[in-house]
A and B are shown apart, each in its own frame.
Chain A
């Protein structure tokens, strides 16, 4: 639900990184923060526990600059992945324009991925949204680890509708910007 502010000539779009706990959502955003030019990004806000687990959300605004007179900005959010933080996840999805689902490729996280994907569908439905009809990208993270499911298996389990997907190693940045680029372009297309 982008808001176009014709008075201040601003467009802000909200992208939410979703997925199971410890899957790498915060790592994605931290990598973006580290690598984009400092003048294009705002402050990285993390509402985290003492052990650095996301408690409420991480937030990073990234400026695209002024496009045809409109200052265009993406607001990147992560949700807390742990199952019991569902109330927080629902709140953060309010007004979302695009979703990135960060799956953990490790075999032992298969059930957690599937559960989180179901939870995403349920929570989006409460906002009247459906991943099949909105900007949506899946990222298979942690591809560098030895005990991973194959991408074919992950696609079968998590991506029956053939959403755009990427392999990633977010700790090293592999796939991070491909993912962000894909979802942000889908969001832009929706506005024009």
Chain B
């Protein structure tokens, strides 16, 4: 891969209710002209109908009837923006604790978190909680917009106070980068264009920071390429091709690979993307791989380059519990990991994470929206990496066998800050 930044950057917005998160995204979209005239007209009409001023920018992303009635974000809204350098996929995440599952949904695929903090209120508990969940979900890079600077007359002192809080939290949670920017989302200052109001600030605007960040660049996560087999394509001549999405690194034709869990070593004889022959396939691409050895591998098996993942039936994991009924030791669930599903059991619940103090205490059960450390056993062997090394091969979901609801998100291992 080149040293160019990614063509597509996925980001998740986080922050507490009323700090102006949806307004910031609305402003970002309006000022980069991502919104069409008729969409803006619709926002203006809705604002007027609900008596909230000329143009309530949060209506740009709060699209559900209940959200507009209650003035809150319930679920993730996905928005798209493109500038001459990059395309952005923006997951605008809800702030309320009861919608943590939705925030986690948005953050799980994000390369970067864009947090919004009200300069007058400082770093609230809910925002800390969200930063913690983002860090837990492996988001390594952070941009923080310190918002409502117009209300404190662009006081550098007020900004510095919040900036210090943010940097200390970021350090504690192990973020690799943290850019803190003073903004007024309402007026658009430092969102797309820099403002003259903050003569003491010489850093980038939010958009400039988003356009230049190296978050999620492929070369920063080359820890051994993996391809969990999704589908076996039978070639007309009788050969077998393994199809799936590459993660964790880059595969090349001629690479020595190991087929797991069988442990068969072979080489890649051909590689295709969307039907055309290629010499390499990097993370995020769906590749069709031909192997030199004849094998009977199928869905749920994995093709991997060194350093190899682990084959195991039992592991420790960090669990975000979403089920209405608490999770407890002994519980049986269905587990989905990469392209494999297996019956699984909670062997033991080894701790409840205190998000405020980043400590682990003992507990009998995990309630909805709580995070814990547990030992999980599976009926079938899984091919896993630690989540901190590889998000795709280190993650799983737990499914209720009766309702089929997704009741938990799991990450193999535990984060460094716990």
Q: Do A and B make up one complex?
A: no
